[in-house]
Amino acid sequence: MSASRRAKPRPAARAEELRPEVPAVPEPVPGVGFAPSLVPPPPEGPLTSLLGEAARLLQKNPEFSSPRAFADLWNLFQHRTRSLDVDDFGFDEPASKSWQTLFEFLYRVWWRVSVTGLENVPGTGRGLLVANHSGVLPWDGAMVKTALRLEHPSRREARMLVLDMFTTLPFLQPWLREMGEVRACPENGERLLSRDELVGVFPEGVKGVGKLFRDRYRLARFGRGGFVRLALRTRAPIIPVSVVGAEEIYPNLLRLDFIGRPLGLPYFPVTPTFPALGLLGTIPLPTKWWIDFGRPIVFDHPSEIAERPMIVNELADKVRSTLQTMIDSRLARRGDVFTGD
Amino acid sequence: MADERVPGTAGGRATRRRNGGRVVAFAPAATRRPKVVVTGGAGPLGTRFVRALAARGTHDVVVFDLVPAADVPSEVRHRFVDLNLPHADGTVFKLLRDEKPDAVIHLAQIRSPSHQATYVHELNAIGSLHVLAASGEAKITRVILGSTTLVYGARGDNPNFLTEEHPLRPDPQDRFVRDFVEAESHARSHVRRHPEAKVALLRFAPFMSADVRDYRAKALGVPLAPSLMGYDPLLQALHTDDAVQAVLAALDHPEAAGAFNVTPEGVLPLSTARLLFGSLAVPVPHPLAYAIYEAAWELGVGLFPGIHAHYFRYLCVADNRKARKVLGFAPRKTTLEVMLETARARRGGTGILDFDRIEEAARLAAFRYQLRVKPPGPPAEIAGSGTVAPTPRRRTRGSEPEAGVAS
């Protein structure tokens, strides 16, 4: 405010200036004195020069002060990180990159993620990442994605298939879409894989992410084998991904489903900190993480096998036991939960 | 175009009528061109289609509507039909018996929600029934019926791209969409009654173009409007020219029957559409937003009933691969380009968006789109890739969608 006072504009002229429908503002002639205009001389402090710029802008383009212009300015502000060019599933690359800082911080500093087996993820072409799910909130998906973005030689963009319950929630729906995540259903998976994308699934689903602390690192049932059918139909290799460290970020002691259900949530976790400390309780614990990409599993079966549920279930169980072995061997080598030594 | 017309058909109405005795599908063009009846040929889509077909000069065109189509060549004839009359089917039958067309194209639909719900129901649902019944009696084997992708319904558990096999699940209270579903069910019964009939259902994505006043374009152009807080679905918009191309393609493939999604390439988030149209959204918690839309509708200022706001909350985007493959339909404009063209026309130069630059970006996006999205072919063409060992070519599989997999 003090800066604007320093500019000492003539008050009558100011009132006239800000009204766009008064066209009688003569053009300022450069060099010669100054016509009745309240545009202050430029170097007068940041606020004055900003106001001056704004006034000059209004003077040049009277349409700037219309309500439409206000709507445009506001919409443009909201779109400042976004692009016009989204893909079929609404993935907005610039918008998703604008969250990179947060994820990189979590990845490098907070959870100090160690990655092995990146050579098992193909540099081009389709692939189906099958990971264990844990940690109440799906941070594990975000970290698998970040690992591939940061550490994979071809900087692959993994498209995670997300549970319905997340993709229909307000605010989460547009955000997940922008980040490139897709609702989990066979049609979406097939479409993505047939476009040679890298697709990530968590076949445990809600049972995995809402697991109790005492059940940690014990894989739940692998859905209905949908991911196997997906791999059979699109001939995509399955790459098992074990995530170790995510089970301990929110030690889920108790599930109060009678609170969660009416709120439309699939579960209501009770952790040592969560309802007790309110929002502070949603800060995950800084455990040490390992993400291991296993050797690709390729099914040589004809795709008709996808219509035989018993065989599909058997194949799913094979993948599940492979993943459980990977998790167990990592757990055996892991020392402290927080330091990893 | 008049110069290119085959001799013997240029002689005006009377000549053609005398020539057109029996329907012979592949008769020499000099004796008779195939004849097409367009019901609703004076409507927004109908007029454009009739113009395009007349310009092509391959068919004789007769418009069945309340009024003649505007700005069409004089050789396009008009027969008065009011599909709202209870005995419209009889009238249409008599006219069809008289005209003996090779194909009936039914485009008489109101494509925006209306307060006169009864009128819309009579036209969109019962009107289709009348036309189908009359075509069946008149032994017309080729019927093309306009529908909409809204029939799939906007649901939270829709896949991102709905295929033609997906069940139709609109909200049962949404009368406007329900009428289209009813029309489709009449088409299915028609095929059951007349197995020889080839009925093509063209499910158009909502239209937009600079000169079409669709409720969606209007809703997006409202300067200040409530929006469903926290929801930002992807939308499709089809250019009317592409819709016309699809009807022409369906006419050129007389064997193509069943439903076809006629949709453009690309999608656009609702918020980006609002940016282009210059509409300021006031986020309101969604239960309240439904109530506000409903109240506005009841007061006569709303553009659609509250229940229809589902389509601004959840996905209802359809896949055009079948139309591309079977009909050879190739949309020329992406959703972004269509929205941009419409927005620019509706704004009339207000606001501060630099549309030239946005258009450049849209062209670039459309180009990149073609590079990035190789339209996925049938599964048989997919070969193994990456670390996968070469696998035998896969055979086509059954197309029944499964629910709740990959959870």
Residue B311 has pLDDT above 80, yes or no: yes
CB contact under 8 A, A177 and B231: no
Q: Which of B319, B334, B346, B352 is most worth mutating to test chain A (most A CB atoms within 10 A of its CB)? A: B352
The whole-model pTM stands at: 0.81
Does the beta carbon of A259 lie under 8 angstroms from any beta carbon of chain B? no
Residue B179 has pLDDT above 60, yes or no: yes
> Cα–Cα distances in Å, from B386 out to A190, A236, B77?
17, 9, 60
- For every residue of A73-112, DSSP letters joined together read HHHHHHTTT--S---TT---HHHHHTTHHHHHHIIIIIS-
List, in order, residues 6 or more apart from A5 with CB less than 8 Å away: none
What is the Cα–Cα distance from A34 to A9, expressed in whole angstroms?
Answer: 13
Angle A67-78/B270-277 helices, nearest 10 degrees?
Answer: 150
| pLDDT single digits (tens) B136-178 | 999 999 999 999 999 999 999 999 999 999 999 999 999 999 9
CB contact under 8 A, B386 and A127: yes
Q: Across the strands, what pairs with A254?
A: A270
What is the Cα–Cα distance from B15 to B388, expressed in whole angstroms?
Answer: 67
| pLDDT single digits (tens) B1-30 | 343 443 333 333 433 444 444 444 454 445
Q: How far is B156 from chain A (nearest CA, A)?
A: 6
List, in order, residues 6 or more apart from A105 with CB less than 8 Å away: none
What is the Cα–Cα distance from A239 to A228, expressed in whole angstroms?
Answer: 12
Q: Are A258 and A218 spatial neighbours (Cβ–Cβ below 8 Å)? A: no
CB contact under 8 A, A174 and B232: yes
Indicate the residue of B358, B374, B401 with minimum beta-carbon distance to A187: B401
CB contact under 8 A, A72 and B351: yes
| pLDDT single digits (tens) B46-99 | 999 999 999 999 999 999 999 999 999 999 999 999 999 999 999 999 999 999
Does the beta carbon of B389 lie under 8 angstroms from any beta carbon of chain A? yes
pLDDT score for A156: 93
List, in order, residues 6 or more apart from A293 with CB less than 8 Å away: A115, A116, A117, A118, A120, A121, A129, A239, A240, A241
CB contact under 8 A, A122 and B159: no
Q: How far is A62 from chain B (nearest CA, A)?
A: 10
Q: Which of residues 138-177 of B touch A (CB under 8 A)?
A: 156-157, 159-161, 163
pLDDT score for A280: 86
| pLDDT single digits (tens) B216-261 | 999 998 989 999 999 999 999 999 999 999 999 999 999 999 999 9
What stretches of B151-214 show up as alpha helix (H) in DSSP? Answer: 175-193
Q: Which of residues 210-229 of B touch A (CB under 8 A)?
A: 223-224, 228-229
Q: Which of residues 13-72 of A touch B (CB under 8 A)?
A: 61, 63-64, 66-72
Q: Please report residues of B whose CB lies closer than 8 A to that of A78.
A: 271, 275
First to last CA, chain B: 58
The residue to which tokens 């004076």 are assigned:
B42
What is the Cα–Cα distance from B46 to B105, expressed in whole angstroms?
Answer: 9
Q: How far is B35 from chain A (nearest CA, A)?
A: 39
Backbone CA torsion sign across B48, B49, B51, B55: positive
List, in order, residues 6 or more apart from B94 with CB less than 8 Å away: none
* Burial profile B261-271: b = 16 or more Cβ within 10 angstroms, e = fewer: bbbbbbbbbbb
pLDDT score for B30: 54
What is the Cα–Cα distance from B108 to B151, expressed in whole angstroms?
Answer: 17
Residue A322 DSSP SS3: helix
- How many other C-beta atoms can be found within 10 angstroms of the C-beta atom of residue B71? 8
What is the Cα–Cα distance from A42 to A35, expressed in whole angstroms?
Answer: 16
> If you average pLDDT over every residue of chain B, what do you get?
85
Strands (E), B136-277: 142-148, 198-204, 207-208, 224-228, 234-235, 238-239, 258-262, 268-269
Q: How far is B72 from chain A (nearest CA, A)?
A: 38
In degrees rounded to 5, what are phi and psi of residue A173? -60, -55
CB contact under 8 A, A191 and B160: yes
pLDDT score for B385: 36
Q: Which of residues 61-90 of B touch A (CB under 8 A)?
A: none
Does the beta carbon of A184 lie under 8 angstroms from any beta carbon of chain B? yes
| pLDDT single digits (tens) B264-290 | 999 999 999 999 999 999 999 999 999
Between B366 and A2, name the one with better pLDDT: B366
Strand order in the sheet with B258-262: B77-80, B60-65, B35-39, B103-106, B142-148, B198-204, B258-262
Q: Across the strands, what pairs with A255?
A: A269
pLDDT score for B309: 95
In degrees rounded to 5, what are phi and psi of residue B391? -115, 155
Indicate the residue of A64, A122, A224 with minimum beta-carbon distance to B405: A224
Lowest mean pLDDT among A44-58, A129-143, B106-120, B327-341: A44-58
The closest of B108, B220, B117 to B176, measured between CA atoms, is B117
Confidence band of B332 (pLDDT split at 50, 70, 90): very high
CB contact under 8 A, A226 and B402: yes
Q: Are B248 and B52 spatial neighbours (Cβ–Cβ below 8 Å)? A: yes
CB contact under 8 A, A171 and B230: yes
List, in order, residues 6 or more apart from A267 with CB less than 8 Å away: A206, A210, A255, A257, A260
Q: Are A159 and A145 spatial neighbours (Cβ–Cβ below 8 Å)? A: no
Exposed (0-12), middle (13-18) or buried (19+): which is A26, by Cβ within 10 Å? exposed
Q: Are A183 and B155 spatial neighbours (Cβ–Cβ below 8 Å)? A: no
Under-50 pLDDT residues of chain A: 1-5, 7, 9, 12-13, 15-16, 22, 29-42
pLDDT score for B372: 60
Q: Please report residues of B whose CB lies closer than 8 A to that of A167.
A: 156
The tokens for B7 are 């001799």
Average pLDDT over residues B345-365: 84
